[in-house]
Amino acid sequence: MVLASSAVAQGLPSGFVYLREVEPTVAQDIRYAGPDNFMGQALPGYDAAECVLQEPAARALNAAQADLAAEGLGLKVYDCYRPAAAARAMMRWASADNSGDTNPRFFPNVRKGALVARGYIAAHSSHSTGLAVDLTLVVREASGRIQPPSGPCRGPADDSLDMGTSFDCFDPLSHTAARQIGSEARRFRALLVAAMQRHDFANYPREWWHFSYSRAGSTSGTFDFPIVRRPAR
């Protein structure tokens, strides 16, 4: 099922919600709405830096956030619903002429031209269903910013915990079960996976940050409506 942009001129499609309306305490850093991502630019369809999801997935995130709050932790989302136009833009970028490039922050050991074959970029993304989310752990009520360890696939300072790599690190170190990362990072990954699994989210083994909501009852299919600013209340 594909929706045209005109169908959502006055709001979201039926069944979709802004995460802030369901769970405002989840931090949001929507990377594809700006230049801080592996493409270095905002992607098509990201007209606002808002997490949009199908309502069952948003309510499941609310429950996971409540579980983590008891441990003084919380979630921060990097990507939620992704317009299909953005997935197509990723494929065009990955197929560009400079396919021999590497990038110390996002893909230090894999050539750009191999990212699709290695499963890091796909023509069709589960994000476009509105049932997938990219996220990490943060300390709730933390003051200031935390400087992550330096080195390949480490991003600029943010408030996330040390998960072994930064978000969108296209590298074997990002595989959820990678053993080459530190013991604390392995513990945080396991904690995140457990919290999400309790609420019907399945992890993608190649990316510790990627989870898909797996409970029945949600609308299936791919969507391509733009993410627009949440209406003022």
Tokens of 157: 């300072």
Task: State the pLDDT at residue 217.
Answer: 59
Task: State the pLDDT at residue 124.
Answer: 87
Task: State the pLDDT at residue 149.
Answer: 65
Task: State the pLDDT at residue 3.
Answer: 37
Output the 3-class SS for the chain: CCCCHHHHCCCCCCCEEEHHHHCCCCEECCHHHCCCCCCCCCCCCECCCCCEEEHHHHHHHHHHHHHHHCCCEEEEEEECCCCHHHHHHHHHHHCCCCCCCCECCCECCCCHHHCCCCCCCCCCCHHHHCCEEEEEEEECCCCCCECCCCCCCCCCCECECCCCCCCCCCCHHHCCCCCCCCHHHHHHHHHHHHHHHCCCEEEECCEEEEEEECCCCCCCCCCCCCECCCCCC
Task: State the pLDDT at residue 6.
Answer: 30
Stretches where the chain sits below pLDDT 70 are 1-10, 142-149, 216-219, 233
Task: State the pLDDT at residue 129.
Answer: 95
Tokens of 180: 């080459």
Q: Kindly report whether the global pTM for this prediction surpasses the value 0.75.
A: yes
Exposed / middle / buried, residue 226 (Cβ in 10 Å: 0-12, 13-18, 19+): middle
Task: State the pLDDT at residue 219.
Answer: 65
Domain 5-213: CATH class, spelled out? alpha beta
